Chain A
Amino acid sequence: MSGLVEFFADPANWSGSTGIPMRVWYHLMYSLIALGIALVIAVPLGIYVGHTGRGEASVAGIANSLRALPTLGLLIVVVMLAAPLFSSSLVFTAPAILVLVLLAVPPILTGTYTGIQSADRSAVDAARGMGYKPSQVLLHVQLPCALPLIISGIRGAMLQIVSTATVAAYVSLNGLGRYIIDGRANSDFGQMAAGAALVALVALALELAFLLIGRLVVSPGLRRSVRRTRMPGAVEPAA
Chain B
Amino acid sequence: MNTVWLSSNLSWIAELTFAHLWLTVVPTALGLVLALPLGWWAHQVPRLYGFIVGSSGLFYTVPSLAFFVLLPGIIGTRILDPLNVVIALTVYTIALMVRVVADGLASIPPETVQAAEAMGYRAFQRFVLVQLPVAVPVILGGLRVAVVSNISIVTMAAIIGVQQLGSLFTQGYSLGLMTPIVTGIVLCLAIAVVLDLLILWASRALTPWRPKEVAA
Contact = CB atoms under 8 A, between A and B. Distances in A.
B56 to A, nearest CB: 12
Contacts of B69: 180, 192-193, 195-196
A82 interface: no
Interface string B170-205: 101100101001101100110011000000000000
A188 B179 CA distance: 32
B141 to A, nearest CB: 7
B66 A237 contact: no
A77 B65 contact: no
Given A68-B152, A69-B189, A184-B159, A203 B145 contact: no
B38 to A, nearest CB: 16
Given A70-B185, A73-B181, A192-B69, A200 B63 contact: yes
Interface string B153-179: 101101111000110111011001010
Interface in B38-77: 57-58, 60-70, 72-73
A80 interface: yes
Given A68-B188, A199-B66, A203-B61, A239 B149 contact: yes
A184 B160 contact: yes
Contacts of A184: 159-161
A4 B145 CA distance: 35
Interface string A139-171: 000000000000000000001001100110011
B156 A71 contact: yes
Contacts of B173: 76, 79-80, 170-171
Interface string A1-27: 100100000000000000000000000
A170 B170 contact: yes
B144 to A, nearest CB: 10
B65 A232 contact: no
Nearest to B144: A64
Chain A binding site: helix, strand, loop or mixed by DSSP? helix
A163 B69 CA distance: 13
Output the residue of B63, B68, B92, B170 with the most chain A CB within 10 A.
B63
B65 A166 contact: yes
Contacts of B99: 232
A169 to B, nearest CB: 9
Nearest to B50: A227
A192 B68 CA distance: 10
A47 to B, nearest CB: 25
B91 to A, nearest CB: 12
Nearest to A74: B185
B79 interface: yes
Contact of A200 (B66, B165, B168, B184): B66
Nearest to A205: B61
A1 B71 CA distance: 11
Output the residue of B66, B149, B178, B188 with the most chain A CB within 10 A.
B66
A163 B188 CA distance: 20
B66 A197 contact: yes
A235 B58 CA distance: 12
A70 B166 contact: yes
Nearest to A197: B70
A66 to B, nearest CB: 10
A68 B159 contact: no
Given A70-B166, A171-B173, 8 more contacts: A1-B73, A70-B184, A71-B152, A77-B178, A162-B63, A197-B70, A204-B58, A207-B58
State the 8 A-B residue pairs at the shortest beta-carbon distance, nearest first: A163-B63, A196-B66, A196-B69, A68-B192, A70-B155, A199-B66, A237-B149, A73-B185
Interface of A: 1, 4, 64, 67-74, 76-77, 79-80, 159, 162-163, 166-167, 170-171, 177, 180-181, 184, 189, 192-193, 195-197, 199-200, 203-204, 207, 232-233, 235, 237-239
